[in-house]
Structure 1
Amino acid sequence: MPPAPDPAGPALFRDWPSLLGLLGRLPGGVLLLLSPVLLLLSPLMGLYGLARSARRVAWRLFLRDAGSVPVRDPDVARVKRLRTCAAFAASFADVVAFGTVQDISESLSDRWGALLATPWLLVVTAPVVFMLFVWGASPGRRRTMWAALRASLRQLGLFVGTLLLIVVLVVAWSVANPSRLGGSVATWLSFGFLAAVVWSVFLFLFASAAVARTGFGAAAVHPAAPPVLATFLVWAFEATAKLPSGPTPIAYALLIGGPATVTAIAWWEIHRLRTRFGVRLRGG
């Protein structure tokens, strides 16, 4: 059995309980009473099982080795969490005070869009940033950075593979066309294809969340790579962002305040890497 995710890791990737394990703790009489309800909920339980399986695979592929980063700074991590909570609270308060139901829907849609777009921006920008750090490093440090870079490129390839898996399954489904067989065989084949496609979609979503968090293992290439990438990404998204609801001063404060605070924290993190941990931009 693969090792379970770190309990101290991101909440999305902490180990999810097994439904069979939870149900096994209930007395037999209670299970018998609940059986009609469980039968009605069986499709949702099946989706949970697929999501749980895809989450574990995504964790093994993209996050299992994320704990082996060269530098950990609890103070920076704490400030980042506070900034994230403050940004969410400010956006929520703005929508509640000045927005409409449509604004709430657009805000949620924008967040999903950012989650799905972040890995593809990283696909384009991360190799460039990595190569700049490798080019600026000392000859003795470059060998280690090249090894870490190969691992990051492997993650990039695996991430692209999660999307290609969906395409391959959908194409295979259309080519095989199980409905031509008729009978129960066609039903079970269609059900199997559908379950595989749903599982692959879950895998792609979890992989997107993992890659957006680690930047394809950027910290292993150079400890300063994650804040540099974060700065670029936040301003890239802001260039296409819509002005928030509310009075103009508040709207512009929210529009500029988000990326400005991310940039400030990123450069403070780089300063701490240099002054407290001896990490040099040109040396790693």
Structure 2
Amino acid sequence: MPPTSGTGGTAHFRDWPSLRRLLGRLPGGVLFLLSPVLLLLAPVVGLYRLARSARRVAWRLFLRGAGSATVHDPGVARVKRLRTCAAIAASVADVVAFGSVQDIRESLSDRWGALLSTPWLLVVGAPVVFMVLVWCASPSRRPAMWAATRASLRQLGLFVGTLLFIVVLVVGWSVSDPSRLGGSVGTWLSMAFLVGVVWAVFMFLFASAAVARTGFGAAAVHPAAPPVLAIFLVWAFAATAKLPSGPTPIAYALLVGGPATVTAIACWEIHRLRTRFGVRLRGG
């Protein structure tokens, strides 16, 4: 494998604080006074615990070990952060200057849609990118790349499994309807399935964010795979995105400017992989 920069090893995981840790910081008297409020917030507390558990499982399945194959370039990372901040600022300025409340809702809806559709676009694009990169690589490197591709396909199967898990739990929830089963058994069974559905939905959302970040472990197949996939994703989103608010020149500049800047940064990243880390599309 080509040399890497950065810490290497497994990806660092920052777990959300537990409720005991959060509440343990409060004095006993404050906890006593807040106890009625905490009882009212019991559903929110339950959702927090479910989300925290689902996030931990998603990290184990899709992110643990991802950092070991990634070439970390501080310069590229810094430019990417600046580009992200600039894109957010430009989007907010466009909505504030030319948009309406409905435009804000559509923008937020598009963000959620992008998060949920990214994994499925990767399902389509990643195998093609992997095969091209394997074909371009030297024969000596292809066996290791094919092995990494199989690991990526396993992650793909796990991701599809998270969606199927939701379907199974929803079917179980509908079958365990207390009106059908009757008695307390049906009620408790229905509640258990409902909790399972909520947990599985959280799991699917965190898994979507994870695979959008790693591209199903694309860096393990080839360090240049993530920037190539980034180019594919941004232009796929641009092809289906709505025209932003504002005058036509500004709207088209925002629509095309985002993918264009991502493409430029990705090409620069590939160039730095070749010149600084010796990573080539063909050869060692």
TM-score by length of 2: 0.93
Please state how far the C-alpha of 1:198 moved relative to its aligned partner: 0.3
Give the aligned partner of residue 188 of structure 2. 188
Asked if the contact 2:11–2:67 (Cα under 8 Å) also holds between the matched residues in 1, the reply is no
Q: Report the alpha carbon displacement of residue 249 of structure 1 after superposing the two structures with TM.
A: 1.6
1:6 and 2:22 are equivalent in the alignment: no
Q: Structure 1's 191 and 138: CA in aligned 2 closer, same or farther, altered over 3 A?
A: same
Question: What amino acid is aligned across from residue 19 of structure 1 in structure 2?
Answer: L
SS of the residue aligned with 2:282? coil
The match for 1:38 is 38
* Partner residue, 2:112: 112
In structure 1, C-alpha distance between the alignment counterparts of 2:78 and 2:178, rounded to whole Å: 52
Give, in whole Å, the separation in 2 of the partners of 1:39 and 1:101: 35
Unaligned 5+ runs, structure 1: 8-13
Equivalents in 1 of 2:11, 2:237: separation in Å?
Answer: 30
Structure 2 Cα separation of the partners of residues 174 and 123 of structure 1: 30
Amino acid in the other structure paired with 1:28: G
Quote the Cα distance in structure 1 between the aligned partners of 2:88 and 2:136: 37
Amino acid at match of 1:184: S
**Could you tell me how far apart the structure 2 residues matched to 1:241 and 1:25 are?**
46
Query: Any idea what SS the aligned residue of 2:123 has?
Result: helix
Any idea what SS the aligned residue of 1:139 has? coil
Separation in 2 of the partners of 1:278 and 1:178? 63
Are residues 1:138 and 2:144 paired? no
Residues 179 and 190 in structure 1, CA contact (< 8 A), matched pair in contact too = no
In 1, the alpha carbon distance for the partners of 2:161 and 2:217 equals: 17
Give aligned-pair identity as a percent.
84
How do residues 15-94 of structure 1 correspond to structure 2 at under 5 angstroms?
Answer: 15-94=15-94
Give the match for residue 277 of structure 1.
277
1:121 corresponds to: 121
- Distance apart, 1:179 and its partner CA: 3.5
For residues 70 and 55 of structure 1, the distance between their equivalents in structure 2, rounded to whole angstroms, comes to 22
> Contact (CA 8 Å) 2:156, 2:216: kept in 1 or not?
yes
Q: Partners in 1 of 2:116 and 2:70 — Cα distance?
A: 27
Q: Is the 8 A contact 1:5 1:59 kept in 2?
A: no
Cα distance in structure 2, aligned partners of 1:69 and 1:40: 46
- Take 2:250 and 2:183, find their aligned partners in 1: how far apart are those partners? 62
Per the TM alignment, residue 70 of structure 1 is displaced from its structure 2 partner at its CA by 4.4
Deviations 1:22-56 (A, max 9, x none): 22333333222111000000000100110000000
CA distance in 1, matches of 2:195, 2:103: 34
- The amino acid across from 1:202 in the alignment is F
User: Is the 2:176–2:186 Cα contact (8 Å) retained in structure 1?
Assistant: no
2:129 and 2:147 map into 1 onto residues whose CA distance is: 16
Partner SS, residue 64 of structure 1: coil
Cα deviation per residue 1:224-249 (whole Å; 9 max; x = unaligned)? 11111110110011011111111122
Q: Aligned to 2:36, what secondary structure does the other structure show?
A: helix
User: Does the aligned pair in 2 maintain the 1:5–1:15 contact within 8 Å?
Assistant: no
Provide the residue aligned with 2:175 in structure 1: 175
Shift of 1:178: 3.8
How far apart in 2 are the matches of 1:46 and 1:110?
Answer: 28
Closer/same/farther in 2, CA of residues 19 and 235 from structure 1, 3 Å limit: same
Tell me the matched-pair count: 275
Residue 95 of structure 1 aligns with which residue? Answer: 95
Question: How far, CA to CA, are the matches of 1:18 and 1:40 in structure 2?
Answer: 19
Residue 153 of structure 1: how far off its partner (Å) = 0.7
**Counterpart for residue 230 of structure 2:** 230
Contact 1:218/1:225 (<8 A) preserved: yes
- Residue 261 of structure 2 corresponds to 261
Distance 1:51 1:5, change over 3 A: farther
RMSD over aligned Cα atoms: 1.5
Secondary structure (helix, strand or coil) at the match of 1:193 reads helix
